[in-house]
Amino acid sequence: PSNRLYFVEYGGKLSRYDEAIVEPYLTHRPFPTEICDEIVQRSALAPGRRVLDLAGGPGDLALQLARRGASVTLMDWSGAFLASARRRARAVGVALDTLHESCNRLVRDDNRYGVVTVSQALHWLDDVMVCRGICRVLRRGGSFFVVHANFDVDEGHPLSFVLGRRSVLGH
């Protein structure tokens, strides 16, 4: 396999996730509060602790963590998702930083974050580049959380290495 990344533009935008998909995404893919509670508990998340939410879409998890006092940066390739997350953050009165960039390029902010999360998106990213980047941005002793749906994909499926029974994310 090649280590080259190819970016496809959709009507002048770098993401196919535009304004039209934001509302259906929010309606049909809300982030479960119970999982956020688990992240908060396991990471001993305290007010002001810096969190990086990778490929967080319209920001459901990022906003839940920000409401609990975390200093959250939401990173996504979709400008529409980030704009929606900023509007929602203002509406509920929480601070939220956004970074419009590919999560495959975690090249700045060395040792800046105490917690890094990625939910339902790691399979869309370059796992080697993301892991290298996380090793760079995550503080020593920090926590990295991967939220991943649990369902079976036939071993012949092209995404079975991530979503199958013998996934790189665990069995």
127 pLDDT above the threshold of 50: yes
CA distances from 170 to 96, 111, 155, 163 (A): 31, 26, 14, 10
- pLDDT on residue 10: 45
Q: Per-residue pLDDT tens for 37-85?
A: 999 999 999 999 999 999 998 999 999 999 999 999 999 988 889 999 9
Alpha helices in 2-59 (DSSP H): 19-28, 33-43
- Which residues, at least 6 apart from 122, have a Cβ–Cβ distance to it below 8 Å? 55, 130, 146, 148, 162, 169
Q: Write down the pTM of the prediction.
A: 0.77
Q: How confident is the model at residue 5 (pLDDT cuts 50, 70, 90)?
A: very low
